[in-house]
Structure 1
Amino acid sequence: MFSAPHEIAFGDVFLPPLLLVIAIAYACALLTARGLAGIGLHRVIAAPALFELSLTAIYTVLIGTFIIPS
């Protein structure tokens, strides 16, 4: 049976698991965008901010789907 993950405690601060997934996804999106800029593909991106936001959303869904809750 699938159980929803609960809050993650850092001392007295409780964080929702989705917040950590979004932070990891944003870091992955930044690395991907910098990698694409490093090889020169940043010239074909019309809206860099929208590109970064969409990469963050894609990575959030992928990470949230494939991480098995404990």
Structure 2
Amino acid sequence: MMRIPHEFSIAGIYLPPLLVASILGLIAAVTTAWLLDRYRLSRFFIHPPLVLCGLSVIYTILIGSIFIGI
């Protein structure tokens, strides 16, 4: 049986797993949005900031469910 982490300790500061997943999801979404802008693929979206928000939610859910086990 896998042990689900209750909190992460980073430099002596305890962080909840959902906060860590959301930070990693936001970093992944910003990177994806930067790549979409770099290769001019964001012009196909009506509202690119909304795409960034959606990507951050999707990445947060994926990272939280796969790596952290929320």
Q: Is the shorter-chain TM-score for this pair beyond 0.5, marking a shared fold?
A: yes
Give the number of the structure with larger relative contact order, counting CA–CA contacts within 8 Å between residues 6 or more apart. Answer: 2
Range of TM-score over shorter length: 0.7 to 0.9
**How many pairs align?**
69
Counterpart-to-counterpart distance in 2, 1:34 and 1:68: 26
Report the RMSD for the aligned CA atoms in angstroms.
1.8
List gaps (5 residues or longer) in structure 1.
Answer: none
List gaps (5 residues or longer) in structure 2.
Answer: none
Percent identity over the alignment is 36
CA shift for structure 1 position 64 = 1.1
Cα-to-partner distance string for 1:22-70 (whole Å, 9 max, x where unaligned): 001100001101101111111111112211010001101111111155x
TM-score normalized with structure 1 length: 0.82
TM-score normalized with structure 2 length: 0.82
